A = this chain, B = another copy of it.
Amino acid sequence: MAALHALARGGLPAISVEALARELGATRGSFYWHFANRDAVVTAALQLWQREATESVIAGLGAEPDPGLRLRRLIEFAVTVDPIAGLEPALTAHARHPAVAPVLRDVTEARIGFLTGCYRELGSSPAEARRRAVVAYAAYLGWLDLRALGGDDLPEVATQGQDAHAALDELVETLLPPGTNHPTRPGEGDRSDGSGVADRDRKARTDRTGRS
């Protein structure tokens, strides 16, 4: 875990035996008893992330029967909870590293596959579902990228707050196919009174308080 946090902050070079030992209050001599060398720590951390990244998806969202609602919950969940800030951008930055590449490939494949299944159930053709999944996953990755900027300039990509809430709705409405039923919040019920386009326009009309 300490290695993953270091990775999120300073990239792969930040995973150093020296720094981790310092941070954990131990010495390098102790370190080299638990791990063969630095690469062993890196691969162990990556495997830990891979397990977490794939299990959390299927565990939390696999049960929801309605594909539209599942997709919505998935996006909300993925964008809202972000246990180690900046981890995914750091990983994609080292995508070509021999230790990172296979892990990142598998996780990406699994996630896009899950998304593709959702769009497929919503009526898209195989190729169309795949394309929408790629677009949706790209939006997710970029969302985390923007969050990694850290400043107060982009309140919409934060994990909480008024602007973040509205932006998350915008993201979901953009990524869900038009006409998909999607209640705004769990207890609010399903406002399937019109198409997604009508919903979109209604939203734009009632919102005049924004920045320039």
Q: Which residues of A contact B (CB under 8 A)?
A: 9, 11-13, 86, 89-90, 92-96, 101, 104-105, 108-109, 112, 123-132, 134-135, 137-143, 145-146, 148-151, 153-154, 156-157, 166-167, 170-171, 174-175, 177-179, 195, 197, 200, 203-205, 207-212
Is the beta-carbon distance between A210 and B125 smaller than 8 angstroms? yes
A-B CB contact pairs (8 Å), 9 listed: A95-B148, A96-B148, A123-B204, A126-B212, A134-B167, A135-B171, A138-B138, A138-B141, A178-B197
User: CB < 8 Å: which of B109, B125, B142 contacts A145?
Assistant: B142
Does B105 contact A151, Cβ atoms closer than 8 Å? yes
| B211/A132 in contact, CB under 8 A | no
Q: How far is the CB of A121 from chain B (nearest CB, A)?
A: 13
Residues of chain B within 8 A (CB-CB) of A9 are 96
Q: A150 contacts which chain B residues (CB < 8 A)?
A: 95-96, 101
**Is B93 within 8 A of A93, CB to CB?**
yes
Measured between C-beta atoms, what is the minimum distance from A163 to chain B in Å?
A: 8
Which B residues touch A130, using CB under 8 A? 156, 210-211
- A138-B138, A138-B146, A178-B178 known; 12 new pairs, CB 8 Å cut-off, are A11-B93, A95-B149, A101-B149, A104-B149, A125-B204, A126-B212, A130-B156, A131-B170, A134-B170, A135-B167, A135-B170, A135-B174
Q: Are A108 and B149 in contact (CB under 8 A)?
A: yes
Q: Report yes or no: B157 in contact with A146, Cβ–Cβ below 8 A.
A: no
Shortest A169–chain B CB gap in Å is 8
Partner of A127, one of B112, B146, B207: B207
Cβ–Cβ < 8 Å partners of A125 in chain B? 204-205, 207-208, 210
Distance to closest chain B CB from A125 (angstroms): 5
- Among A105, A131, A178, chain B packs the most CB atoms within 10 A around the CB of A131
